[in-house]
Amino acid sequence: MRFRNITRMTAASAMLLGAISTIASAAATKPHSSTVAASTTVPIITGVWERDPSPFEEGGGGDTEDVPPPRPGPDLKEPYASRWKALRAKRQAALDAGKPLADSSTLCLPEGTPTIMQAIYPIQILQTPGQVTVLAELYMQTRRIYMDAPFPKPDDLEPTYYGFSSAHWEGDTLVVTTRGLKDSVQFFEVPHSDQMTVTERYHLTATDKLRADFTIDDPVYLKTPYRWTWRYKRNLTYRIPEYVCDHSLEKINADGTVSFEVK
C-alpha cells in the first residue's frame, strides 16, 4: 500500500469516527430515547443486534434440521412452486438419511441480501452520514446501504451478493430498497429474476428493540409478495469477534452431499 493511500484512509477514518461520536454522544445524553434531539431527528439504530427470539427458537433448528424459511413461505408461480417444494423435500430427505446436501454455507460463501439480516450470529449496524452499514459476525460480511441514493440504470446495476441498497426515512421508519442481486444469491433457495426488489422497513419498538418487515417482490417468479417480520434486541456488551472460515472439515462429494473429513 502506498503512503498516499494510507493518508487518505486515515483522514477518512477520522471523519468516520467523528460522525459516530456525534451520534453516540447524542444518544448518551438521552439514553432511553429512540430519537436524538435537534440536529439529528432520526432514530439511532447503531449498535450490535441479535435476533429476538433467536432464529433457532422460531421452529426447527434442531440438530438434524435446518432453520426453516419464515412463514408462510414464498407464493411462487408454477412450475417454480413445485420445483422449490421438491428441492426442499430432497434436502430434508438427505438430512434424514445422514447425507446432507451442500449449500452456500458449506463453502462459507457470503449470505447476501436479505439473508444477512437473519443474524445467525449478531450483526452490527452503523449509521454514518449518507450510509448505513451492516457488519455481520458470520463470515465478517459487510453490507452498505446508501441513504437517498438514486438507483443505477439497469445496464449499470451489476448483480452482486448484497445488491444496490438505497434507503430513506419515512417518519421514524428506515425504508431500504434493494435490487441487483445475483441469481445464485437466493433466500432459502427461492429463485428470483433481475426484477426482484427487496424492501425492508426498520422501526424501533422500544429503546433496544428493533422490528424489521421484509417484502420480496418479483413479478416473474412470485404470485404475491413474500412478506415476513424479524425482530432484534440490542446487545450493549457484545463485541463481535472475527470470523474467518478457514478450517472447515467438510468435503463436497461428486453427488452434492457433504462428508465430514477426519484428520
Partner 1 sequence: MKLSELCTILVGVGLLTVSLPAEAHHSFAMFDQTKTIEFKGVTVSQFQWSNPHVYLLAQKGNTVYTLECSSPSGMRGLGWKFNSVKPGDKVDLTFFPLRDGRPGGELRSIILGDGQTLKAW
User: Rule CB under 8 A: which residues touch partner 1?
Assistant: 50-51, 54-56, 61, 63-64, 66-67, 94-100, 105-106, 108, 119-122, 137, 235-238, 241, 243-250, 258-263
Closest approach of partner 1 to the CB of residue 233, in Å: 9
**Which three three-digit cell numbers place residue 142?**
459487510
3-state secondary structure 91-116: HHHHHHCCCCECCCCCCCCCCCCCHH
d(CA 28, CA 48): 16
Give whichever of 103 and 194 is closer to partner 1, judged by the CB atom. 103
d(CA 98, CA 101): 10
Query: Do the beta carbons of residue 260 and residue 249 sit within 8 Å?
Result: yes
Give whichever of 96 and 158 is closer to partner 1, judged by the CB atom. 96
Give one word for 64, left, alpha or beta, with left for phi > 0 and alpha for psi -120 to 50.
Answer: alpha
Give whichever of 49 and 80 is closer to partner 1, judged by the CB atom. 49
Give whichever of 81 and 95 is closer to partner 1, judged by the CB atom. 95
Give whichever of 151 and 238 is closer to partner 1, judged by the CB atom. 238
Query: Do the beta carbons of residue 137 and residue 121 sit within 8 Å?
Result: yes
d(CA 223, CA 197): 14
Residues 6+ apart with CB under 8 A from 126: 20, 46, 132, 133, 135
Closest approach of partner 1 to the CB of residue 75, in Å: 26
Closest approach of partner 1 to the CB of residue 228, in Å: 18
Is the backbone peptide bond immediately before 72 cis, with ω within 30 degrees of 0? yes
Closest approach of partner 1 to the CB of residue 126, in Å: 20
Closest approach of partner 1 to the CB of residue 52, in Å: 10
Closest approach of partner 1 to the CB of residue 226, in Å: 21
Give whichever of 72 and 98 is closer to partner 1, judged by the CB atom. 98
